[in-house]
Structure 1
Amino acid sequence: MNMSCTLSNISQRLHEVNMLLSTCEQGAFSFAQALLLSLFYRDFCDTNTVVEEAESLAEKDAEQLLKFSSALFSESETYLSLDKTSLQVVNFEALFEEYLKPFELRYEEAKAASTELWRKYSALNNRLDFLPLDSEEYMKLSVECDAKNAEYDTAHAQTDHLYNEWQQERSRYFCVYCFKPMFLDVLVERLHGIAESILSDINQMKEDKP
């Protein structure tokens, strides 16, 4: 991560959160909206990173730090002033499960189809065991059995792919399932305090200059 990457992004990301909260309607919260909030918390919950970047930037470019901190202070002030009662009724766990449901259903459908192909292949293979190896019926059934096995292999590979896709989506967006609005409140309160302290320190440094 480049230095000041967090500082340069956090204000814009918080602005997006504020815009969402100021325009969203109660009872009409989508997964995408829930994701925006939970990703903000996930990406910036380690406030030590913000402090470390601020300390480093203070030595290199105090004016840039002033710009970033002023923006963060302003956006955090806005967030803290917003009415967020509509968030209290949002079921983030349900939104997460609803988002994942199509991935799960695609996997289950593919799994069922793959299982049925395996059943048919096994039945053909079992019939082969009772036929003379040099019989015409054996030869014909063997070709059919090989084709069914190849069909199963393709279906099985697709089933594995869909399962991995489902699990990847689950891991990628599990932050939505875990998210609670109070987490964001606590984080923004902390960020507001950090920005306020940085601005105070910068102003003090300016006053101390001869």
Structure 2
Amino acid sequence: MMIRQITQRLHEVNLLLATYGQGGLSFEQALPLSLFYQDFNDTNLLVKEAACLIKENPGQLLDFSSSLLSETNKFLSLDRTPLQTVDFEFLFEKHLEPFELRYEKAKTVAAELWRKYSAMSGRLDFLPLDSEEYRSLDAKCGAAKAKYDGAHAHANLLYIEWVQERDRNFSVYCFKPMFLDVLVERLQGIAGSIISDIRRMKEGEP
């Protein structure tokens, strides 16, 4: 249920903001902030869910909404000023740096192996096919090609790993603290409206 997920995740965000202090934000701490915004910024989905649940189980919706309202109030009461100085783009790039370096190193190794293989292969073209030198170099050429193929495959895997890590965590790069403030204020308003609507229903008001 989305409203319960939002409340739980916002509770985790509040714990993080209440405890991380002035020592600077790590990438691991920045990630849940950015993912919370990414996952729940479309509040229309929450409104649609509430519209269904208010007919099926208004009591449960009231409990969930009250919990959400409590967490939004908690968030908005916390000192979020230190977040304004965090460079989220830098955190993202520093996190990705080891992945990129591993790939670049593997790519360089593969490129050097290809250069050696190409040089051997080029020399073969000028040797008589039935010569001992050709047969010897051909065997070395085959071994060099196999070595290159392995290095190339390894580099490709590291590239895929790098891209997947980049895409999985790109929300950190795009994140701005004010996004979270605006979203939580919207959630606060939605939770408050749901609670008011349910109370009016209980009191028999239109």
TM over 0.5: yes
Aligned pair partner of 2:114 in 108, 118, 121:
118
Distance apart, 1:6 and its partner CA: 1.0
Query: How many positions carry a matched residue from both structures?
Result: 205
Deviation of 1:64 (Å): 1.0
User: SS state of the match for residue 208, structure 1?
Assistant: coil
Q: Quote the residue 1:103 is aligned against.
A: 99
Matched, 1:177 2:179: no
Aligned residue for 2:24? 28
Question: Deviation digits for residues 131-154 of structure 1, max 9, x if unmatched?
Answer: 111001110110000011011111
- Aligned to 1:63, which of 59, 78, 91? 59
Q: Measure, in 1, the Cα distance between the counterparts of 2:142 and 2:196.
A: 76
| The one of 164, 170, 176 aligned to 1:168 | 164
**Residue 49 of structure 1: aligned partner:** 45
Q: 2-side partners of 1:110 and 1:20: how far apart? A: 37
Give the letter aligned to residue 183 of structure 2. Answer: L
Q: What do the CA deviations read for 1:97-148 (whole angstroms, capped 9, x no partner)?
A: 0000010001000000000000000011111111111001110110000011
2:141 corresponds to: 145
Q: Which amino acid aligns with 2:24?
A: A
- Answer whether contact 1:96 1:176 (CA < 8 A) is retained: yes
Offset at 1:28? 2.3
Aligned to 1:13: 9
How far apart, in 1, do the equivalents of 2:24 and 2:76 lie? Answer: 22
**Distance across 1 between alignment mates of 2:23 and 2:157:** 35
CA distance in 2, matches of 1:63, 1:127: 82
> How far apart are 1:168 and its partner, in Å?
1.1
Q: Which runs of 5+ in 1 are unaligned?
A: none
Measured on the aligned residues, the alpha-carbon RMSD in Å equals: 0.9
AA of the residue aligned to 1:170: R
- Can you list the C-alpha shifts for 1:37-92, whole angstroms capped at 9, x where unaligned? 00000000000001000001111111110111011000000001111011011110
Cα distance between partner residues in 2 of 1:39 and 1:184: 10
Counterpart CA distance in 2 for 1:25 and 1:18 is 12
Q: Scaled by the length of structure 2, what TM-score is found? A: 0.98
2:86 alignment counterpart: 90
CA distance in 1, matches of 2:174, 2:22: 21
Contiguous gaps of at least 5 residues in structure 2 = none
